[in-house]
């Protein structure tokens, strides 16, 4: 049984709204629904009764909810005590890393830290942005890679390591390819490939489109890994981080700035210093010694 499914069940039971629960969990509503169905299949019955007007806990849901809360609390407590034990008796740390951290040069920090502090066991857990944020909230990890967009306030301690902005990636022969920069208005009638819904990048783009008074024509929603091939096939224009766009240059594609900039800082999300283990403090100290707080371009 997935412990996160229990926590999602608890959140949904507290709110009795898929939309509100998904927003609070920082995940897509469709994903939450799929997880709840998986939990119901495992338990052998429906946890909620649904109608067009309201949602309620089923008899099974009401019966199981106290146990779900107890299991979730016990899991969180065990995790906290285990980390405290390792902090006092061990030398390891775990970093939650979003997919494709190489785009932002973070692997150089990992390699450099391992060379500078070989006594520290360094573990990396890779996951989606929302998964890492949920792990952080559950106190399963104390450090994770994240980004903060311009105008956004981080909900935790944040150590910036780099900065960048979103760009448009389009075929070399596209009529807009020769532009020095593109406004969102110029993309109004273009097919667009955008990041996954309910991610920070997507929310920042949606907010920028709304401010520009443009309704984007979205034909693809997902990661940037396959976007290059889709763009080359003529499917549309991809909006993605500049680092991802230029990491592997392709002569068939061009990268054009979007103005005004949709800017962000990438770095390390972490807890307050006093909540970190000795190895975790060594990592944050190492990053600050490199001048990370000054933000490199």
Fold for the domain defined by 3-79: Arc Repressor Mutant, subunit A (1.10.10)
pLDDT at 241 exceeding the cut of 80? yes
Mean pLDDT on 218-233: 87
pLDDT in tens, 2-23: 888 999 999 999 999 998 998 8
- Mean of the per-residue pLDDT values of the chain: 87
pLDDT in tens, 17-50: 998 998 888 888 899 999 999 999 999 999 999 8
Share of the chain above pLDDT 70, in %: 94
**3-class SS of residue 193:** strand
From 101, 165, 162, select the one nearest 132 (Cα to Cα).
101
Measured distance CA(57)–CA(13) in Å, rounded = 7
pLDDT digits (tens, 9 = 90+) for 89-127: 556 788 998 877 776 778 888 888 989 888 888 888 888
Query: What's the pLDDT score for residue 88?
Result: 57
Full-model pTM: 0.66
For the CA atoms of 282, 286, 292, 293, the dihedral, rounded to the nearest 10 degrees, stands at 50
The Cα–Cα gap between 48 and 51 comes to 10
- For 91, 124, 282, 283, the CA distances from 117, given in Å and listed in that order, are 10, 16, 8, 9
- Give the domain 84-143+268-294 fold: D-Maltodextrin-Binding Protein; domain 2 (3.40.190)
Where residue 86 falls among pLDDT bands split at 50, 70, 90? low
- Tokens 């929302």 appear where? 130
Tell me the three state secondary structure of residue 179: coil
Contact yes or no for 144/278 (Cβ under 8 A): no
Kindly tell me if the per-residue pLDDT of 211 is higher than 80.
yes
268 neighbors 158 (Cβ within 8 angstroms) = yes
Q: Which CATH class is domain 162-264?
A: alpha beta
In angstroms, rounded to a whole number, what is the distance separating the alpha carbons of residues 243 and 104? 6
- Strands 55-57 and 157-171, how do they pair? unpaired
Q: Mapping DSSP to helix (H, G, I), strand (E, B) and coil, where does residue 249 land?
A: coil
* pLDDT, tens digit, 9 for 90 and up, residues 133-187: 888 888 888 999 988 998 888 778 899 888 899 999 999 999 999 899 999 999 9
* DSSP element (H, E) containing 69: helix 59-89
Those residues with Cβ within 8 angstroms of residue 83's Cβ, 6 or more apart along the chain or in another chain:
139, 142, 277
Whole-angstrom Cα distance, residue 226 to residue 237? 13
Task: Render pLDDT for 248-294 as a digit per residue (tens, 0 to 9).
Answer: 788 999 999 999 999 998 889 999 888 888 888 899 999 888 764 44
**CB of 124 closer than 8 Å to CB of 94:** yes
Question: What are the residue ranges of helices labelled H in 90-141?
Answer: 106-116, 129-137
Paired tokens of 103:
């785009």
Mean pLDDT of 51-66: 90
Lowest mean pLDDT among 107-116, 198-207, 209-218, 284-293: 284-293
Q: Do domains 84-143+268-294 and 162-264 have the same CATH topology?
A: yes
Residue 217: pLDDT above 90? yes
Domain boundaries, the chain: 3-79, 84-143+268-294, 162-264
């Amino acid at each position: 049984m997935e412990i996160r499914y229990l926590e999602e069940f608890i959140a949904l039971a507290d709110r009795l709204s898929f939309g509100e629960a998904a927003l609070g969990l920082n995940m897509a509503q469709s994903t939450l629904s799929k997880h709840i169905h998986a939990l119901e299949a495992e338990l052998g019955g429906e946890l909620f009764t649904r109608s067009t007007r309201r949602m309620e806990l089923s008899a099974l849901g009401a019966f199981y909810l106290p146990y779900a809360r107890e299991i979730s609390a016990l899991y969180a407590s065990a995790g906290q005590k285990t980390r405290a034990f390792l902090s006092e008796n061990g030398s390891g740390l775990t970093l939650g890393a979003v997919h494709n951290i190489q785009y932002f040069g973070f692997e150089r920090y990992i390699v450099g830290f391992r060379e500078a502090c070989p006594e520290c066991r360094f573990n990396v857990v890779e996951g989606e942005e929302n998964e890492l944020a949920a792990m952080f909230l559950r106190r399963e990890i104390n450090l994770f890679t994240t980004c903060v967009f311009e105008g956004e306030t981080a909900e935790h301690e944040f150590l910036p390591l780099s900065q960048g902005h979103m760009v448009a990636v389009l075929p070399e022969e596209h009529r807009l390819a020769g532009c020095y920069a593109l406004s969102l208005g110029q993309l109004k009638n273009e097919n667009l490939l955008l990041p996954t819904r309910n991610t920070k990048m997507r929310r920042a783009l949606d907010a920028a489109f709304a401010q520009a008074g443009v309704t984007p024509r979205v034909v693809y929603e997902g990661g940037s890994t396959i976007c290059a091939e889709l763009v080359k096939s003529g499917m549309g224009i991809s909006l993605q981080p500049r680092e991802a766009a230029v990491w592997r240059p392709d002569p068939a594609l061009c990268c054009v700035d979007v103005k005004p900039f949709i800017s962000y800082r990438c770095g390390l999300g972490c807890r307050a210093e006093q909540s970190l283990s000795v190895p975790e403090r060594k990592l944050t100290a190492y990053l600050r010694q490199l001048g990370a707080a000054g933000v490199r371009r």
